[in-house]
A and B are shown apart, each in its own frame.
Chain A
Amino acid sequence: MTRRISKTKRFYMQNPIIQFFKFIWLSLKILVIVAGGHGGTRNVNGQ
């Protein structure tokens, strides 16, 4: 096992309070990407 994730990063990744805000941020970000729409690729305007 080679430590590739530093102690500080690991703390950040597993801290429930920080991660709670990350959860909200991730949920919103994913919602924007997914609900942001989809379309075709073949017409002139590309949408």
Chain B
Amino acid sequence: MAKIVILGAGIAGHVAAAHLRRKLPKKHEVLVVSPNSNYQWIPSNIWVGIGRMKSEQILFPLPPLYKKKGIGYKQAKVTTFHPEGDAETPKPYVNVEYVVGDHKGKTEKVTYDYLINATGPKLAFDMTEGLNPGTNKAYSVCTYTHAEHAWHALNTLIQEMKQGKKAKILIGTGHAKSTCQGAAFEYILNVEKELRRHGVRDMAEVTWIANEHELGDFGMDGMLMSYGNNIMKSSEMVEMVFEDRGIKWIIGAGVNKIEDGVAHYETLDGEFHTETYDFAMLIPAFSGHGFKAYDKDNNDITKKLFKGFMIVDADYTPRPYEEWSVQDWPETYQNPTYDNIFAPGIAFAPPHAISKPRTSKNGTPISPAPPRTGMPSGMTAKLVADNIIDMINGKKDLHHKGSMGNMGAACIASAGYGMTQGSGVSITTFPIVPDYHKYPDTQGRKLGKTFGSIGLAGHWLKLALHYAFIYKAKMKPFWWLIPE
């Protein structure tokens, strides 16, 4: 009998738990440890942040589902890793701390045979001075509670605009190394659409601010894509959309400080500027959680497990951008020191960025960190689950592989909500990490599989995915037929 402990119940953790439970006989134990007892479909936070969806529509409680399906659950957060056990506990374990109820604050050793670290990112607001959702008129949509607060503030501003107030809205990245530009891109288009719907578009100046050196970089080094019968750069597509919507932009900007209604930033040309606003939504830097790890003698071995995020089978040798290759990216998400530990989704340490690193004239690094969106998070979690099942069944090699350099992803960016008036920017990319060796003439990507499309169908698709993925997450009949 094997015990598999999964840390985190986001897209990666929940996908891994669901597949393991479905495929493994009941004698094996599947246990999830996560501080938030709700599953949230994060991509739909965008719509909570414009008041077109309620939080309840994008989340559901996990404990009843886990109980029904025979998945163990502890509402707790992991604090330390002990992959060799210790003098008292010979089995590997993690220390967890309960976050609610009578046990709140109590810690417990949770032993395991296999460990899946799917704790995602820490939303590192503290890395930007003054950036704290709900203060200084700056908000976030990274969680459903943040998104609710954002909508409350935006709605208040819209009402003031209806009374004649002119307003400035700033949306983008809140740190020089932020990622997740795609989410901010969706949000700015949705906000702009809502301003029109409320009849106050003329009262607002809407500005995009980002650490990308050109529009449409998205932390993916930009894309060359098929667009209808044409071939277009993602920068051209985003520029077309922004100009058409009257959205201004500031790029190559590392936001370093937020004051009440003022964003301070440095640009790649080394200049320091400020931008005032009445409402801002700025994506923070994502960092590792700062976990510590110890060996059986209680020596600190954090460096064997973590490099900010968790160390996996990537090639972490530092190299200049010109020498980066898809082979640097992990395939199995297994920790090289402890072969029973895996880290799918955002929890794994990437070997390097995807976009070319850039520094300002003052030496400040200003460029996006690599994104790991929902689709690769789900796919990597599923392949980790499949490899663990193989290991339990006695197989030595890991057969299931999925490098982001040999994996496609779809990003359906909502560009406005509404069954007839909505819009979406649908982008697919293959591979996620450009393979400049295999596709030298098309900026590292396969053209037919890397395409962009704009229109109402994109909105329907995003909405259909919302319902399909919540259905899947609820493990309703035949849920496993819906691909990650």
Using a CB–CB cutoff of 8 Å, the interface residues on chain A facing chain B are 1-5, 12-16, 19-20, 22-23, 26-27, 29-31, 33-36, 38-42, 46-47
Using a CB–CB cutoff of 8 Å, the interface residues on chain B facing chain A are 240-241, 243-246, 326-327, 329, 331, 375, 379, 383, 401-403, 405-410, 412, 420-421, 423, 426, 428, 430, 435, 438, 449, 451, 453-458, 460-461, 464, 483-484
Is A33 a contact partner of B430 (Cβ separation < 8 A)?
A: yes
Tell me the nearest residue of chain A to B451, going by C-beta.
A29
Q: How far is the CB of A25 from chain B (nearest CB, A)?
A: 8
Q: Which residues of A contact B246 (CB under 8 A)?
A: 1-2
Q: What is the CA–CA distance of A36 and B484 in the complex, to the nearest angstrom?
A: 12
Is B423 a contact partner of A38 (Cβ separation < 8 A)?
A: no
Q: Which residues of A contact B402 (CB under 8 A)?
A: 38-40
Tell me the nearest residue of chain A to B201, going by C-beta.
A1
Is B461 a contact partner of A27 (Cβ separation < 8 A)?
A: yes
Q: Which residues of A contact B484 (CB under 8 A)?
A: 34
Tell me the nearest residue of chain B to A22, going by C-beta.
B457
Tell me the nearest residue of chain A to B405, going by C-beta.
A41
Is B458 a contact partner of A40 (Cβ separation < 8 A)?
A: no
Is A38 a contact partner of B406 (Cβ separation < 8 A)?
A: yes
Q: What is the CA–CA distance of A47 and B451 in the complex, to the nearest angstrom?
A: 22
Q: How far is the CB of A7 from chain B (nearest CB, A)?
A: 12
Given contacts A30-B428, A31-B483, contact A23 B410 (CB under 8 A): no
Is A38 a contact partner of B244 (Cβ separation < 8 A)?
A: no
Given contacts A4-B243, A14-B423, A34-B375, contact A40 B455 (CB under 8 A): no
Q: What is the CA–CA distance of A38 and B403 in the complex, to the nearest angstrom?
A: 7
Q: Which of B240, B245, B454, B483 contacts A34 (CB 8 A)?
A: B483
Given contacts A19-B455, A34-B483, contact A29 B428 (CB under 8 A): yes
Q: Which residues of A contact B421 (CB under 8 A)?
A: 14
Q: What is the CA–CA distance of A47 and B400 in the complex, to the nearest angstrom?
A: 11
Q: Which residues of A contact B326 (CB under 8 A)?
A: 41
Is A33 a contact partner of B449 (Cβ separation < 8 A)?
A: yes
Is B408 a contact partner of A33 (Cβ separation < 8 A)?
A: yes
Q: What is the CA–CA distance of A15 and B331 in the complex, to the nearest angstrom?
A: 42
Q: What is the CA–CA distance of A36 and B420 in the complex, to the nearest angstrom?
A: 31
Q: How far is the CB of A20 from chain B (nearest CB, A)?
A: 7
Q: Which of A13, A15, A39 contacts B403 (CB 8 A)?
A: A39
Q: Which of B240, B329, B407, B483 contacts A5 (CB 8 A)?
A: B240
Q: What is the CA–CA distance of A6 and B364 in the complex, to the nearest angstrom?
A: 41
Q: What is the CA–CA distance of A3 and B405 in the complex, to the nearest angstrom?
A: 37
What 10 A-B pairs have minimum CB-CB distances, sorted nearest first? Answer: A1-B246, A13-B455, A40-B401, A38-B407, A22-B457, A23-B457, A40-B331, A19-B456, A33-B408, A38-B402
Q: Which residues of B contact A40 (CB under 8 A)?
A: 331, 401-403, 406
Q: How far is the CB of A13 from chain B (nearest CB, A)?
A: 4
Tell me the nearest residue of chain A to B423, going by C-beta.
A13
Tell me the nearest residue of chain B to A31, going by C-beta.
B483
Listed A/B pairs (9) with beta-carbon separation below 8 Å: A1-B244, A16-B420, A19-B455, A19-B457, A22-B457, A31-B483, A34-B375, A39-B331, A41-B406
